[in-house]
A = this chain, B = another copy of it.
Amino acid sequence: MKKELGYNTAQKEKLIEFLIKNKDKHTSAQEIDTYLRSVGSPVGMATIYRQLERLVEAGTVRKFIIDGKSSACFQYVENEKECREHFHLKCLSCGKLIHLSCSRLMDISSHISQNHGFIIDPSQTVFYGRCADCAVSKE
């Protein structure tokens, strides 16, 4: 766990515990609710959203909005600092999050910065598409 903000409550603890356990995939507020309910520690949706909101703001959790999904997805971020130095690819099929450190991407970054005057923030940018596995099994 990282930055400790606010109070430590049982609800918050359970929520973060779940997010960490599922850090390899994204989950919706609904799924979180279902899980917490299933383990006998139900947390109100309002609280779930409020906690997620602050976690996202703190950089502890990442929020994804994906076409085809009616709801947002959340995913725990292990090492925030490290994640500032590379880009992310997110598979729209399986939800896998790939961390990609590639010099070519950094080149593009500086190219856009120099030729288009736009400074890309890698920590906020996500490339959406299909990973190798899902590209094969097509859709």
Chain A residues engaging chain B, CB cutoff 8 angstroms: 63-69, 72, 89, 91-92, 98, 100, 102, 104-105, 107-108, 111-112, 115-121, 123-132, 135
Closest chain B CB from A122 CB (angstroms)? 9
Give the number of times this chain occurs in the complex, counting copies. Answer: 2
B contact residues around A112 at 8 Å (CB): 89, 100, 102, 104-105, 127
Instruction: Give the CA-CA distance A105 to B120 in the complex, in Å.
Output: 13
Question: B124 contacts A119, CB within 8 Å?
Answer: no
Indicate which residue in B63, B65, B123, B135 contacts A117 across the interface (CB closer than 8 Å). Answer: B135
CB-CB nearest 6 A-B residue pairs: A117-B132, A124-B128, A120-B129, A65-B67, A121-B129, A119-B130
